[in-house]
Amino acid sequence: MTLKSRHLLGLENLTRAEIEYFLDTAGSLKEISSRDIKKVPTLRGKTVINLFFEASTRTRTSFEIAAKRLSADTINISASTSSVTKGETLIDTAKNIEAMRPDLVVIRHPASGAPELLSRWVDLPIINAGDGTHEHPTQGLLDLFTVREKRGKIDGLTLAIIGDITHSRVARSDIYGFQKMGARVRVCGPPTLIPPGIESLGVQKFHRLEPALEGADVVMVLRIQLERQGTPPFPTLREYSKLFGINLERLRRLKPDTLIMHPGPINRGVEISPEAAYGSHSVILDQVENGVAVRMAVLYLLSGRSVDA
Partner 1 sequence: MMPKKIIDAEGIERILRRIAHEISERNQGTRNLALVGIPTGGVHLAHRLARIIKEMEGNQVKTGELDTTLYRDDLPLKGPIFRLKRTDIPFDLNDHRVILIDDVLQTGRTIRAALDAITDLGRPKNIQLAVLIDRGGRELPIQADYTGKLVTPTGSEEIEVRLRETDGMDEVIVQEKKPGEKPILTR
Partner 2 sequence: MPRLIRGGRIVDPSSGRDGIFDLLIQDGKIARIEPRIASLPPDTETIEAAEHLVVPGLIDIHTHLREPGYEYKETILSGSRAAAAGGFTGVACMANTDPPNDNHSVTEFIRERAREAGLINVYPVGAVSKELKGESLAEIGAMVDSGIVAVSDDGHPVMNSGLMRTALEYTQIFGIPVISHCEDLGLSRGGQVNEGLASLRTGLAGIPAEAEVSMVARDLLLARLTGGKLHLAHISTARAVEAIRAAKAQGLQVTAETAPHYFTLTEEAVLSFNTGAKVNPPLRSAADREAVQNGLRDGTIDCIASDHAPHSTVEKDLEFSQASSGIVGLETTLSLTLKLVQQGIIPLARAIALLSVNPARVLNLKKGTLAIGADADITIINPNREFVVNPDKFFSLSRNTIFAGLQLKGKAVITLTRGEIIFRE
Which residues between 68 and 127 bind partner 1 (CB under 8 A)?
70
What does 169 bind: partner 2, partner 1, none (CB cut-off 5 to 8 Å by kind)? partner 2
| Residue 197 in the binding site for partner 2 (CB under 8 A) | yes
Integer-rounded Cα radius of gyration of the chain: 19
Q: From CA 136, how far away is CA 144, in angstroms rounded?
A: 13
| Residue 288 in the binding site for partner 2 (CB under 8 A) | no
Per the CB < 8 A criterion, the answer to whether 52 and 60 are in contact is yes
The edge-to-edge listing of strands for the beta sheet with 259-261 is 204-206, 184-188, 158-162, 218-221, 259-261
Among residues 289, 159, 153, 173, the alpha carbon closest in space to that of 221 is found at 159
| Residue 1 in the binding site for partner 1 (CB under 8 A) | yes
What does 109 bind: partner 1, partner 2, none (CB cut-off 5 to 8 Å by kind)? partner 2
Backbone angles phi, psi at 159, to 5 degrees: -105, 130
Residues in the chain: 309
Among 24, 73, 116, 289, binds partner 2 (CB under 8 A): 116
* CB of residue 283 to partner 1, shortest distance in Å: 22
Kindly state the helix (H) or strand (E) to which residue 261 belongs, with its residue range. strand 259-261
* CB of residue 197 to partner 2, shortest distance in Å: 5
Residues of this chain that bind partner 1 (CB under 8 A): 1-3, 6, 24-25, 28-29, 31, 35-37, 39-42, 44-45, 70, 300-301, 303-309
- Binding footprint of partner 2 on the chain (CB under 8 A): 12, 84, 89-91, 109, 111-114, 116-117, 121, 131-135, 167, 169, 172, 195-198, 200-201, 229-230
